[in-house]
Amino acid sequence: MLFLQYLVAGVLTGGLYGLIGLGIVIIYKSTKVFNFAVGALMTFCALVCVALVTNVGLPFWLALPISLAFAAFLGLLTERVGLRPLLAQPILTLIMATLAIESILYGTMLLFWEGYTISFPQGVLPGQTIFLGPIFIPHEFLYAFIVATACFVLVGVFFFKTQMGLRMRVTAESHVVAMALGINITRIFAMSWMLATVVGALAGIFIGNRLGLQVAITPSLAFKALPAIIFGGLDSLAGAIIGGLTVGILEKMAAGYIDPKVAEITPYIILLLVLLIRPQGLFGEERIERI
């Protein structure tokens, strides 16, 4: 019974990790850039959502799409201002650029929200805990989990069923090949940044609803998703979600059966073991190396 409860908690938190991971994977897949600014981006969008609800007074269901639109805009802006000028430069330089962007976003957030913890007004997510016998399922997490699954399905359909998705996959394969095929890869990059920021914003809103938002602490929550995406493979969409779930479950099991103290590092130890056996993550694409 306890086991089931830990499993439920793990799956539900894992969904949240998967959602953050999805945002990182989308960008990595198409641009090969690891986005260190993911935490700052998701916090920013979530803070905008809170501001729309509390300061402007919009209902949550209206504030949500507006803040997601803002997220898309912010992603576009980041790509255009920060990364476009560095096109075709060494990958590490681009990663460094995301670090610089993170600093800019952090400062901008401080201008508007200072260092206080900002919380959503209570009950923006309607409903209450569902009890299934002795097992309880918190509704806030359930929403997050449903949204994560929906995001995963939508992004999957987008990638594998649409023309644009096909272009994105070609770009992921090789930038040169994509350009030779007449694909406008700068547009693909902009697209993937927008998509990733929107997914991140959703994660940020759920986290904010849970823990409140603070400009220095909330971004670091994104690092919780790191073992998840390495676990699944940096360039695999399915891997992000499955990795998220695995890490979530591992964490709760470790906290439940061993000691909460080891919960945070258990994913990393498992991660090291996985990497030793499968260096490209569980679902990552195996690259055949040539000289």
Partner 1 sequence: MWRPCGVIDETYEQDLAIVRTFPQWTLTVAALGALALLPAYVSGVTLNTVNHIAITIVALHGVNILTGLTGQITLGQAAFMAIGAYSMEMMVRYWGLSFWIATPIAMLITGVAGVIIGLPSLRIKGFYLAMATLAAQFIVPWIIVNVRPDLTGGTDGLTVSPPSIGGLQLTSQESIFYLCATVAVFSTVFARNIARSRYGRAFIAIRDNDIAAEIMGIAVVRYKLLSFFLCSLYAGLAGCLYAIWMRGISVEHFTLHESIWYLGMLIVGGMGSVVGVILGAIMIRSLTILVTYIGPWIAVFLPPGTGTVLELGLGPIVFGVVVLAFLIYEPHGLARIWERFKAFYRLWPYSY
Partner 2 sequence: MKRLSLSLVLMLLIAFFCMQASCFAEKPESISIGVMGDFSGPYAPVVGPTRPGTLDAWQYLNKEAGGIQGIKLEPILKDMGGKVDVGQSQYNELVSMKPKPIFIDMYITPLAAALRNRFVEDNVVSLVPGAGESLYPVGNSYAYYALYPEQIGVVLKWIKDNWKKKENPKFGIITWDTGYGRAIVTEEFYNWAEKIGVDIVDTQLFGIRDVDLTPQLMKLRAKNPDYLITNSTASGPLAIKKGLKEMGWDIKLINTSGGDWGTAALDPSLFEGDLVALHVKSFDEVDDPSIKTVMTYFTANNRTEKDKSLFYLVGWQVALLEHKILNQVVKDHGWKGLNAENVMKELNNLKDFAPLEGITKMSYSEKRRSPTVARVYKITKGKFLPVTDFVETPDLRPAKFK
Q: Binding residues for partner 1, how many (CB under 8 A)?
A: 50
Q: Which lies closer to partner 1 via its Cβ, residue 98 or residue 209?
A: 98
Q: Helix (H, G, I), strand (E, B), or coil: what is residue 137?
A: strand
With CB under 8 A as the contact rule, which of the stretches 53-61, 137-145, 195-203, 257-265 interacts with partner 1?
257-265
Q: How far is the CB of 11 from partner 2 (least distance, A)?
A: 11
Three-state secondary structure of the chain: CHHHHHHHHHHHHHHHHHHHHHHHHHHHHHHCCCCCCHHHHHHHHHHHHHHHHHHHCCCHHHHHHHHHHHHHHHHHHHHHHHHHHHCCCCHHHHHHHHHHHHHHHHHHHHHHHCCCCECCCCCCCCCCCEEECCEEECHHHHHHHHHHHHHHHHHHHHHHHCHHHHHHHHHHHCHHHHHHCCCCHHHHHHHHHHHHHHHHHHHHHHHHHHHCECCCCHHHHHHHHHHHHHHHCCCCHHHHHHHHHHHHHHHHHHHHHHCHHHHCCHHHHHHHHHHHHCCCCCCCCCCCCCC
| Closest CB to partner 1 among residues 69, 282 | 282
The smaller minimum CB distance to partner 2, of residues 32 and 139, is found at 139
Q: By CB under 8 A, is residue 264 in contact with partner 2? A: yes
Q: Tell which one of 202, 255, 271, 274 touches partner 2 (CB under 8 A).
A: 255
138-177 footprint of partner 2 as x/- string (CB under 8 A): xxxx------------------------------------
Per-residue x/- track, 191-210, partner 2 (CB under 8 A): ----------------x--x
Residue 265 CB, nearest distance to partner 2 (Å)? 10
For residue 136, state whether it binds partner 2 (rule: CB under 8 A): yes
Closest listed residue to residue 151, CA positions, set 254, 20, 270, 45 = 20
**Interface with partner 2 includes 25 (CB under 8 A)?**
no
Closer CB to partner 1, 161 or 259, in the complex: 259
DSSP, collapsed to helix, strand or coil, labels residue 242 as helix
Using rule CB under 8 A, residue 95 touches partner 1: yes
Question: Contacting partner 1 (CB under 8 A), which of 57, 90, 126, 133?
Answer: 90
Beta strand residue intervals within 84-138, DSSP E = 130-132, 135-137
How many CB atoms lie under 10 A from the CB of residue 70?
A: 18
- The answer to whether 279 contacts partner 1 (rule: CB under 8 A) is yes
Binding site for partner 1 (CB under 8 A): 28, 34, 36, 82, 85-86, 89-90, 92-93, 95-97, 99-111, 114-115, 220, 223, 226-227, 230, 234, 261-262, 264-265, 268-269, 271-272, 275-276, 279-281, 284, 289, 291
Binding site for partner 2 (CB under 8 A): 2, 5-6, 8-9, 12-13, 16, 110, 114-117, 119, 122, 129, 131, 136, 138-141, 207, 210-212, 214-217, 220-221, 223-224, 252, 255-256, 260-261, 263-264
